[in-house]
């Protein structure tokens, strides 16, 4: 047998072996997805730690907790802000907080979150409608006034946080003190973050498309498709040559 033909047969064999596993996955997931309603895949919830980690929903290592109002905590997980275990608003990691007589303001890069004295949400104000689009830091002037450090300069809010005036002068950046979360609070936050888990339908659909493992999974599925096309092409070519010789 010519050396070139041996190489082609070896390549054909290895492509077949490598693509067989992915073909099995595609076949099983495809069959299941075709019978979603009958199998009730939407109603089956999955809470595997491995799958939650793949979807960025595990969250425990991403908890950022800060002290506020003495014994209370301010926690950021994912894009959600929590006061103790109660969700407040979808925002970036908080920078500082300022307590007034009637409300407390939590300064975040993209929002100002206003709380009443009991820690209940009053309003979350987006910064992109203000004289600045993003706050990089927050602090105090020597006189005790709140100073916001934005990309387009320094700004000083009034007592009601309705108007913001340019500021020039010294200031000291204020940061939130880190805190340790009580077990019951962290458990409640993680339960809210994870919700009821993932639907089996979504997991099978992402596994079928290769999205479950990010760009690597999609690349493997793409390579499998290319391998199958090469197998079909080389098989048809070999069959055609044999039929001509016959």
User: Angle, nearest 10°, between helix axes 3-34 and 214-245?
Assistant: 120
Q: What is the reported pTM?
A: 0.62
The DSSP-derived string for 59-71 is -GGG-EEEEETTT
- 69 versus 206: which is more confidently predicted? 69
- The C-alpha angle 136, 167, 106, rounded to 5 degrees, equals 40
| 79 neighbors 88 (Cβ within 8 angstroms) | no
Output the CA torsion 26→30→33→39 (10° steps).
Answer: -100
**113 pairs with which residues across the strands?**
106, 124
pLDDT tens digits for range 56-79: 655 555 788 999 988 899 999 878
pLDDT for 56: 63
Neighbours of 125 (CB within 10 A): 18
pLDDT tens digits for range 11-64: 666 666 666 777 777 788 888 888 888 888 777 767 666 666 666 655 555 788
DSSP character for 91?
-
Please state the domain extents for the chain: 3-54+198-245, 62-194
Q: In what order do the strands lie in the sheet with 172-173?
A: 164-167, 153-157, 146-150, 135-140, 172-173
């Amino acid at each position: 047998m010519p050396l070139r033909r041996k190489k082609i047969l070896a390549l054909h064999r290895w492509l077949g072996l490598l693509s067989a596993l992915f073909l099995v996955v595609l076949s099983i997931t495809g069959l299941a997805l075709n019978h979603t309603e009958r199998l009730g895949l939407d109603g089956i919830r999955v809470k595997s730690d491995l799958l939650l980690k793949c979807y960025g929903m595990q969250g425990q290592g991403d908890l950022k907790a800060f002290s506020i109002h003495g014994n209370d905590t301010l926690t950021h997980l994912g894009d959600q802000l929590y006061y103790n275990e109660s969700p407040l608003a979808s925002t970036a990691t908080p920078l500082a907080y300022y307590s007034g007589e009637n409300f407390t303001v939590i300064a975040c890069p993209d929002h100002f979150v206003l709380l009443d004295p009991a820690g209940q949400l009053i309003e979350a104000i987006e910064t992109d409608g203000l004289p600045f689009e993003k706050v990089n830091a927050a602090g105090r002037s020597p006189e005790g006034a709140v100073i916001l450090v934005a990309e387009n300069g320094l700004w000083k809010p009034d007592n009601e946080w309705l108007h913001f005036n340019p500021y020039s002068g010294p200031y000291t950046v204020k940061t939130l003190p880190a805190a340790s979360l009580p077990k019951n609070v962290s458990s409640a936050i993680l339960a809210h973050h994870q919700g009821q888990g993932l639907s089996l339908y979504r997991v099978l659909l992402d596994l079928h498309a290769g999205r479950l493992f990010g760009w690597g999974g999609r690349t493997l599925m793409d390579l499998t498709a290319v391998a199958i096309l090469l197998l079909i092409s080389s098989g048809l070519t070999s069959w055609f040559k044999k039929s001509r010789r016959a």
